[in-house]
Amino acid sequence: MKFLRLFLCLVTLCLTACMSHLFLDTSTRLQVENKTDVAILGLDVISEDGTSVQPWIKDTIEPGEKSKVVEEDWVGTFRVRVRFDKWNGKHTVSVSACETKVTPPIRVYAVLAKQSDANVIEKQASSCNDQSIDMTYAEVELDFEGGSQYLVVSEDEDGKAVFKFR
């Protein structure tokens, strides 16, 4: 009887998959809180060369508000881009849906963050219609452990963007 039970357990394990399913998350449920005084236009995961973009949080987050919880399969270490409406009073035009074809940065100014991995930069790039577009964003490499994660975006007294998981 004991062996039968053990056998049935093993069969169930085999059929479902492996033990790791009990304690490993394969997706991240991300919620972003905006503690800066500018609106966040969205959060994307971008490739290292900047040519491919996977949008994650698409809705605009007004200052002091939280985004919806969006579940995606990003578990690991990825380069994340947070797009702002403006930074330090410089207003720029928001990017269009053709953002996947951005060219390398033509001018980069307003390098605000002291830490090397989180800079808010303004980039001028041509869209798919060859129209010049500007976007203001911060790029940061983040470690997503999976499960429910709460990202707080804030601005410190020096005017740098600060990203913190809570």
Interface residues toward other proteins, by CB under 8 A: 13-18, 20-21, 24, 26, 45-49, 52, 54, 72-79, 141, 146
CA 158 vs. chain centroid, Å, equals 23
Closer Cβ to other proteins, 25 or 134, answer by number: 25
Residue 67 CB, nearest approach to other proteins (Å): 20
> What does the alpha-carbon distance between residue 27 and residue 159 come to, in Å, rounded to a whole number?
32
Closer Cβ to other proteins, 76 or 159, answer by number: 76
Closer Cβ to other proteins, 25 or 65, answer by number: 25
Residue 86 CB, nearest approach to other proteins (Å): 27
Which burial class, exposed, middle or buried, applies to 155 when counting CB atoms under 10 A from its CB (0-12, 13-18, 19+)?
Answer: buried
CA 95 vs. chain centroid, Å, equals 16
